[in-house]
């Protein structure tokens, strides 16, 4: 059981992934952290030094290397499903779960968390809102290819119940 958590930055993938990993008693991995460990540099510095194209290439390689993990939860970056046929690969190699958080909640999560997110680091609130709207329109077709979509009240500690039910069907 390999579970890939997909959704926009600030949707709660890492936060909920850690909790659900404990509930399922399986390891939790953050794809960005796996990339940082392999590259020995932060994602922010990868973007600044080598650019987004390089990061996306490394992301695809590290994502595919997660096939070495039998049972785990993996929080993917917000853009992961949108490049190099990653969404198709995840659907073939695990259960994909879209954490479909509302735009306003994403904005509220991100507005005070910009320093560690390379794509939004210099944006004011107006620009950030527009960025979120534009990127969601661009990325939602990929996110909606997930096998399971969680929204609203399911995006909490108890959302694992929906995942467990899906797994058992």
134 Cβ contact list (under 8 Å, min separation 6): none
CA angle 87, 153, 71 (to 5 degrees): 45
Terminal C-alpha separation, the chain: 13
CA torsion angle for 123, 128, 132, 133 (degrees, to 10)?
A: -130
Instruction: Say if residue 139's pLDDT is above 70.
Output: yes
Going by C-beta distance under 8 Å and a sequence separation of 6 or more, which residues neighbour residue 64? 89
For helices 160-168 and 13-24, give the axis angle rounded to 10 degrees. 60
pLDDT above 70 as % of the chain:
96
Instruction: Please tell me the predicted confidence (pLDDT) of residue 114.
Output: 54
pTM exceeding 0.85: yes
- Alpha carbon of 169 to those of 154, 155, 163, 165: distances in Å? 18, 21, 10, 6
- Both structure tokens of 22: 């404990």
Model confidence over 48-84: pLDDT tens digits?
Answer: 999 999 999 999 999 999 999 989 999 999 999 999 9
Q: What are 115-125's pLDDT values in tens digits?
A: 566 677 778 88
Write down all domains in the chain, each with its CATH number in brackets: 2-164 (3.40.50.300)
């Amino acid at each position: 059981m390999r579970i890939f958590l997909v959704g926009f930055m600030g949707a709660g993938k890492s936060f909920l992934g850690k909790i659900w990993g404990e509930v399922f008693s399986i390891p939790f991995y953050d794809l960005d952290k796996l990339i940082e460990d392999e590259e020995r540099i932060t994602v922010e510095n990868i973007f600044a030094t080598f650019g987004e194209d390089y990061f996306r290439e490394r992301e695809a390689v590290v994502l595919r290397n997660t096939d070495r993990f039998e049972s785990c939860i993996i929080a993917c970056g917000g853009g992961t499903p949108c490049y190099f046929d990653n969404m198709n690969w995840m659907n073939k190699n695990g259960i994909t779960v879209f954490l479909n958080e509302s735009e306003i909640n994403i904005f509220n999560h991100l507005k005070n968390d910009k320093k560690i997110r390379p794509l939004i680091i210099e944006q004011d609130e107006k620009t950030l809102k527009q960025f979120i709207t534009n990127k969601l329109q661009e990325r939602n077709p990929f996110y909606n290819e997930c096998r399971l979509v969680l929204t609203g009240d399911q995006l909490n500690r108890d959302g694992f119940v929906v995942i467990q039910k899906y797994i058992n069907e």
